[in-house]
């Protein structure tokens, strides 16, 4: 749970499917620490059974503009530029690490389903948001948990946003009653206000425009 | 690098194959913190290019006898018992998490090879030490790093100990000049001395006996 559009819509979809929800967020030294506050708001709104924030060794994620304050988050890029290069905001092996912790928690809970809000269409150049990656991860994870007691155990990864456009995600969430005024998507907030110029802000703006809706969080100051 | 037999032999094998070695260890709240001291000794002995110890959120690994002091590490189990049940010393998703951090470092280093000291024959019931798991992980990891700039990039996982017996591992290391007096394998040391009764100690004793060698670390007090 990042506190943004995708993971919040994902929680609404999981709830609609009657799953008992355990929410996982990560503090990996990201610049946009305001996102963790948004994640906590959303977790409370949806009354998730438990919400954990795992602190990861931020030194390991150096070299990405999301975590390294010496690097500049790109602003006002065109849609083509967003879609066709591995961006400087890429964090090495991020989804692989996040999913690994989800797998550990799943084992402790004796659960079998993981929901992840990856999105291929708007994936902004991240290789670990693609369908073939998600499929391969599920195969690996199933082999990782099939022990002597549970030889037929299967892990199911749900990535219902994978093929959706940002507009479709917003429409889906809106139809499920998601209050997007509680969410924050920005990579590089100015204080606690979205910058409106990073890739995440541009994709969000485009999504609301295409859905014919107004972003209820636009301009909101999320200061605690 | 755990400071034990397997990972130390692994480092010797990687060095023999002329790899430039970056060593990774994890502090995940394991009872056997003495192993990290052994790992540092071994890293220094082999002059690895860089040795990192990643601290992981130990709350996430509760419920295993390796990390939870309220649980007892099993002692003096038979070979059959060791091989045929998921042991209480199993740590959820441990190798999956460890490998994910290796993948992140690999991306930062622009490297392509990961060595892991998993061992199927003596794997003591851990599902994430099996060949099919390792193969699936490699497939997943390759998909995770193939970005636009490097569509043909491939990750290679080396698990040269996978099919070896503990005796073969010891013989291999001995032929490569490994000094096993510097290593510690115990799950539950008494102070800084191996307990000689946990699964790891029993497998180590059996290995040295079958190799017709004496364990040079036996009875050593590794107090700092």
Evaluate if residue A213 carries a pLDDT over 60: yes
Q: What is the pLDDT of residues A8-35, one digit of tens each?
A: 999 999 999 999 999 999 887 765 678 8
A192 touching B (Cβ < 8 Å): no
Superfamily for A5-210? Answer: HUPs (3.40.50.620)
Pairwise CA distance, residues A106 & B47, whole Å:
38
The span from the first CA to the last CA of chain A, in angstroms, equals 19
Place of tokens 């590490």: B73
Instruction: Please write the tens of the pLDDT for every residue from A100-118.
Output: 999 989 988 889 999 999 8
By CB atoms closer than 10 A (0-12, 13-18, 19+), residue A60 is buried
* Length of chain A in terms of residues written: 224
Radius of gyration of chain B (CA): 17
Q: Does B133 touch chain A (CB under 8 A)?
A: yes
Closest-CA residue of B relative to A55 is B57
**Residue B190: what pLDDT?**
85
Multiple choice CATH, B5-68+77-210, 3.40.718.10, 3.40.50.620, 3.40.50.970, 3.90.1150.10: 3.40.50.620
Length of chain B: 224
Q: What is the pLDDT of residues A114-165, one digit of tens each?
A: 999 988 765 556 777 788 999 999 999 999 988 766 778 899 999 999 989 9
* pLDDT, position B145: 87
Partners of residue B54 on adjacent β-strands? B26
Alpha-carbon distance of A53 to A66, in angstroms, equals: 18
Distance CA A195, CA A100 (A): 31
Instruction: Take residue A42 and report the two structure tokens written for it.
Output: 């959303």
Q: Residue B27 has which token pair?
A: 């502090």
The percentage of chain B sitting over the pLDDT mark of 70, rounded to a whole number, equals 82
Residue for token digits 């892991």?
B116
Q: Say how far residue B113 (Cα) sits from the centre of its chain.
A: 16
Spell out which residues of chain A touch residue B103, defining contact as CB-CB under 8 Å. 92-93, 96-97
Confidence band for B67, pLDDT divided at 50, 70 and 90: low
Q: Once rounded to an integer, what is the mean pLDDT over residues B178-184?
A: 94
At A22 the pLDDT is 96
CB A207 within 8 A of CB A170: yes
Question: Quick check: B140 and A133 CB within 8 A?
Answer: yes
ipTM: 0.83
pTM of the model: 0.85
Residue of A nearest to B52 (CA): A60
Among B59, B66, B88, B104, pick the best mutation site for testing chain A contact (most A Cβ within 10 A). B104
Cα separation, A48 vs A68, whole angstroms? 31
Percent of chain A's residues with pLDDT above 90: 48
Q: Does B81 have pLDDT greater than 90?
A: no
pLDDT higher than threshold 70 for residue B106 = yes
- Dist CA A2 CA B171 (whole Å): 50
Q: What is the rounded average pLDDT for all residues in chain B?
A: 85
What is the rounded CA–CA span in Å between residue B9 and residue B208? Answer: 14
User: Contacts of residue A97 in chain B, CB cutoff 8 Å?
Assistant: 97, 100-101, 103-104
Q: Which of A96, A108, A136 sits opposite B103 (nearest CB)?
A: A96
What HEC string does B45-73 produce?
HCCCCEEEEEECCHHHHCCCCCCCCCCCC
pLDDT of B192 > 90? The answer is no
For residues A36 and B16, give the distance between their C-alpha atoms in angstroms, rounded to a whole number.
46
Report the alpha-carbon distance of residue B5 to residue B208 in Å, rounded.
11
How does residue B29 score in pLDDT terms, banded at 50, 70 and 90? Answer: confident
Locate B90 and state its tokens: 């199993």
Average pLDDT, chain A: 85
Residue-level pLDDT at B176:
97
Chain B residues with CB-CB distance to A92 below 8 A: 103-105, 107-108
What CA–CA distance (Å, rounded) separates A63 from A35? 20
Choose from A76-80, B77-81, B182-186 the range with maximum mean pLDDT. B182-186
Asked if B152 has any chain A CB less than 8 Å from its own CB, the reply is: no
**Token pair listed for B63:** 């419920």
Token digits for B202?
């029993």
Instruction: Give yes or no for B140 touching A (CB within 8 A).
Output: yes
Residue B42 has pLDDT above 90, yes or no: yes
Q: Give residues with Cβ within 8 angstroms of A13, minimum separation 6.
A: A115, A160, A172, A176
Residue A94 pLDDT greater than 90, yes or no: no
Q: Do A100 and B103 touch (CB under 8 A)?
A: no
Question: Residue B177: pLDDT band by 50, 70, 90 thresholds?
Answer: very high
The tokens describing A203, both together, are 């994709």
Task: Write the pLDDT tens digit of every residue in B200-210.
Answer: 899 899 999 99
Segment B84-90 mean pLDDT: 52
Residues B96, A105: C-beta atoms closer than 8 Å:
no
pLDDT reported for residue A128: 78
CB of B96 less than 8 A from some CB of A: yes
Phi-psi group of B63: left, alpha or beta (phi > 0 → left; psi -120 to 50 → alpha; rest → beta): left
Which residues neighbour B13 within 8 Å (Cβ) at sequence distance 6 or greater? Answer: B115, B160, B172, B176
Interface check A143 vs B, CB under 8 A:
yes
Average pLDDT over residues B103-110: 88
- pLDDT band with cut points at 50, 70 and 90 for residue B139: very high
Residue A169, Cα to own-chain centre: how many angstroms?
13
Rounded Cα distance between A42 and A207, Å, is 20
- List the Cα angle B146/B149/B155 in 5-degree steps: 30
- Whether residues B93 and A144 touch (CB distance < 8 A) is answered with yes
């Amino acid at each position: 749970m990042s506190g943004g559009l995708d993971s919040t819509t994902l929680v609404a979809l999981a709830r609609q499917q009657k799953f008992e929800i355990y929410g996982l967020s990560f503090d990996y030294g990201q610049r946009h620490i305001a996102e963790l506050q948004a994640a906590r708001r959303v977790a409370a709104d949806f009354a998730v059974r438990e919400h954990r924030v795992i602190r990861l060794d931020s030194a390991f994620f150096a070299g990405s503009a999301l975590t390294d304050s010496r690097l500049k988050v790109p602003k006002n890029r065109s849609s083509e530029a967003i879609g066709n290069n591995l961006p400087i905001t890429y964090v090495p092996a991020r989804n692989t690490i996040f999913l690994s912790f989800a797998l550990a928690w799943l084992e402790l809970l004796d659960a079998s389903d993981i929901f992840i809000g990856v999105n291929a269409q708007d994936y902004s150049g991240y290789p670990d948001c693609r369908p073939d990656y998600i499929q391969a991860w599920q195969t690996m994870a199933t082999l990782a948990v099939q022990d002597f007691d549970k030889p037929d155990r299967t892990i199911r990864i749900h990535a219902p946003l994978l093929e959706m456009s940002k507009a479709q995600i917003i429409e889906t969430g809106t139809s499920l009653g998601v209050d997007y005024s509680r969410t924050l998507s920005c990579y590089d907030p100015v204080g606690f206000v979205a910058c409106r110029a990073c890739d995440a802000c541009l994709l969000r703006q485009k999504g609301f425009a295409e859905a014919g809706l107004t972003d209820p969080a636009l301009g909101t100051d999320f200061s605690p």
